[in-house]
Amino acid sequence: MTQNKNVVQNRLASIDVLRGFDMFFLVGAGEVLRRLLKGINSEALQPVYNQLDHVRWEGFSSWDIIMPLFLFSAGLSMPFSFGKLINQGYSKAKIYGKVLKRFCLLFLLGWIVQGHLLDLKIDTFQIYCNTLHSIAFGYLITALIILNVNKVSIQLAIGASLAVAYWALMAFVPVPGVGSGVFTVDGNLAMYIDRTVFGSFMSAKTQYTWLLSSLGFGATVFSGYYAGLMLKKQNSHNQKLIQLLLVGIGLIVAGWLLSFHTPIIKKIWSSSMILHSSGICFLLLALSYLITDKMKIDSWWTRGFRMFGLNSIAAYMLYQVFQLDRMAQFFVHGLEQYVGAFYPFFVALCQFGILWFIIRHMYKYKIFLKI
């Protein structure tokens, strides 16, 4: 935890606003909207509700961008943070130490959120199971590329090869008893490897894959790093926007073309999903950059997003671990008899209000959770 009055100075607002936009929906606003739509219970609004939920397997909804954008944002700040460390005279060994420390802290927090670490029971513990774990591996892989390769073109080639290698493994390495190139829930290579390596230490309730998919996580974080390099260049606002838009559109088209061979499946982080989601992230970054760093819009809603962006880990942990919904029920339980089907909506709204109050006051007193 740091208390620093200068932490928000000399930062691109677009990075914080984009991360805050992601966290704003992940830690409450999305659930508020879902429960509101459930309360209304209109068939006409079902397509809207579907966009606020994950697809079951193949395909991609608006809600599915939340996790890729979280990883993309982790890479987005790396050109600035690593550049700062190098300018301050940090040795490569000392930077490696910081990278390893962040990797371990992210894994620890992921175990607390979803790995059942606090149960203190070995039979419920899960080794690799949470978004923070995917960020940890994606960050580590990208950091290794940055620290060992100086030429950007070679960095880009290595970053792209992560997605290519993952695609090739998933497409051509056979699963015993199933064959190769199978993208079903139980027949894909990534799930087979997770079950083989983790055994009882993986969740039987989820279809997400992790170990082999780390190559894909690395590719997504690296795409954010490359976007950060674009923002760091001494180009005009318009040049940066054009570059972000062109790359974003190109990645979306590439993902669509690859999907004819490899389906877009977020739960296994398929290579077509990597391209598709990264393209969307580039477009969202372009929009954030246009609003904040070019147009200089400083309104209540951009400041609100930035509050969440500057304390994204704190917001995530508060929402996932501290059961703010129970506190919310304490405040609004009396409404249940009057609002009927809308009661869960008011609980979610109150829960989000409590979280907003905490994050706003952390921002006000310049308290930021940094790892």
CA-to-CA dists, residue 162 to 121, 141, 212, 221, 256, angstroms = 35, 10, 11, 11, 18
Strand partners, 3: 367
Q: Which two tokens stand for residue 101?
A: 């420390």
Average confidence (pLDDT) over 267-283: 98
Q: Work out the percent of the chain whose per-residue pLDDT is above 70.
A: 97
Nearest of 205, 161, 158 to residue 185 by alpha carbon: 205
Q: Work out the percent of the chain whose per-residue pLDDT is above 90.
A: 88
pLDDT at residue 371 greater than cutoff 90: no
pLDDT digits (tens, 9 = 90+) for 133-149: 999 999 999 999 999 99
pLDDT digits (tens, 9 = 90+) for 95-131: 999 999 999 999 999 999 999 999 999 989 999 999 9
Q: Which two tokens stand for residue 190?
A: 């990534």
How high is the pLDDT of residue 285?
97
Alpha carbons 277 and 270: distance in angstroms, whole number:
10
Helix 78-87 to helix 92-113 angle, to the nearest 10 degrees? Answer: 140
* 152 neighbors 134 (Cβ within 8 angstroms): no
Mean per-residue pLDDT over the chain, rounded: 93
Alpha carbons 301 and 222: distance in angstroms, whole number:
29
CB-based contacts of 159: which residues, under 8 Å, 6+ apart? 142, 145, 218, 219, 222, 223, 225, 226
Q: Which two tokens stand for residue 232?
A: 């760091």
- pLDDT class for 11, splitting at 50, 70, 90? low
Q: Which parts of the chain are beta strand (E)? A: 2-3, 367-368
pLDDT at residue 9 greater than cutoff 60: no
For 335, half-sphere exposure in the C-beta direction (CA atoms, 13 angstrom radius) is 16
- Domain layout of the chain by residue ranges: 2-368
pLDDT at residue 51 greater than cutoff 60: yes
pLDDT at residue 215 greater than cutoff 90: yes
pLDDT digits (tens, 9 = 90+) for 52-75: 999 999 999 999 999 999 999 999
Average confidence (pLDDT) over 258-268: 96
Alpha carbons 20 and 313: distance in angstroms, whole number:
11
pLDDT digits (tens, 9 = 90+) for 164-203: 999 999 999 999 999 999 999 999 999 999 999 998 888 7
CB-based contacts of 238: which residues, under 8 Å, 6+ apart? none
How high is the pLDDT of residue 5?
45
- pLDDT class for 205, splitting at 50, 70, 90? confident
Q: Which region among 6-15, 174-183, 293-302 has the lowest average model confidence (pLDDT)?
A: 6-15
pLDDT at residue 1 greater than cutoff 60: no
Strand partners, 59: 265
